Structure 1
Amino acid sequence: MKFEDSSIYKELNPEKLVLPFGEFYLTDKFIVAEIYDGEHVDWSKIELLLTKIESFYKKNTKLAYISHRINDYSVNPQIWSHWENTFDFIVASAIVIYKSTTLMNASIEKVFANKSLKRCRSLEEGINWVNNLKEFA
């Protein structure tokens, strides 16, 4: 189920950002990312996304990133460490997993992440985890 079709979406009423490779929902504490099927996420896409996000939020805003993996796509796992070193406003990430292959990929990505990265089985689990992060207390 897409984030837009969830009851949480209706409660939060996020700002929607559409880029050529995915849809991103911007809330006060987190971003929900839904990358399109068949995409390969490389540094140029991450840089475009995070530059757009930076312009939306106030300076010194801290956010979490939730990768809602409803589609099949690939990610260069080394992006995580480069992203964390370049854009410090993302304090933690969650990957919502629906398939066993996605779990394997997320496990590899977790190895490259320096900040907290949680693998979740539902969007609700990911959002609850993010909402309880000590960075937002």
Structure 2
Amino acid sequence: MKPFKIVDEEIAYLEMYDDFVISSIKDGITFDLEELNWFVMILDKYYPNKKFGYISNRIYDYSLNPTTYFTSAMYEKLNAMAIVCYSEVAKKTALFEKNFSKKPFEVFQDMEEAKNWVLKYQKK
């Protein structure tokens, strides 16, 4: 499976697939409402009339304001969120963030498992 579009910007590297996007937020970014608004603009462009899943590929070190989950909960097109972690610290952080999400949200250590989990929400 190949992405139909790749966006590589200062904030993040995004791979767009038919039913989900994989995001790698860049090292040192502080992810807050401004960055969330950038994401929404990009996602609206490539998923104009379709629901999709979101996979956060946590390969870099960055800060996240967990209250952005309250705002993203209002984003109707997003139907599931998976976080792929590569360290115990990242996993603990993601599990804490899960408390703020109103959407289906799971934490994984394997990208293929995350993709399969997100894809099951596309069939609903």
Same amino acid, percent of matched pairs: 27
Residue from 70, 86, 89 that aligns with 1:101: 89
Deviations 1:13-55 (A, max 9, x none): 3310122211111111000000111111111001111111101
Deviations 1:83-111 (A, max 9, x none): 111x2100010000111111111011100
Give the aligned length: 124
Using the alignment, how far apart are the partners of 1:136 and 1:112 within structure 2? 25
The answer (yes or no) to whether the contact 1:78–1:109 under 8 Å persists in 2 is no
Give the corresponding residue for 1:67.
56
TM (normalized to structure 2)?
0.93
1:123 deviates by 0.8
CA RMSD of aligned residues (A): 1.2
Unaligned runs of 5+ in 1: 1-10
Residue from 53, 73, 88 that aligns with 1:84: 73
Give the corresponding residue for 2:48.
58
Using the alignment, how far apart are the partners of 1:14 and 1:70 within structure 2? 22
Stretch of structure 1 that moved more, 100-109 or 50-59: 50-59
TM (normalized to structure 1)?
0.85
Using the alignment, how far apart are the partners of 1:58 and 1:127 within structure 2? 21
Match of 1:92, SS state, is strand
Give the corresponding residue for 2:105.
117
- Which ranges of 4 or more aligned residues in structure 1 deviate by more than 2 Å? 11-14
Bigger share in helix: 1
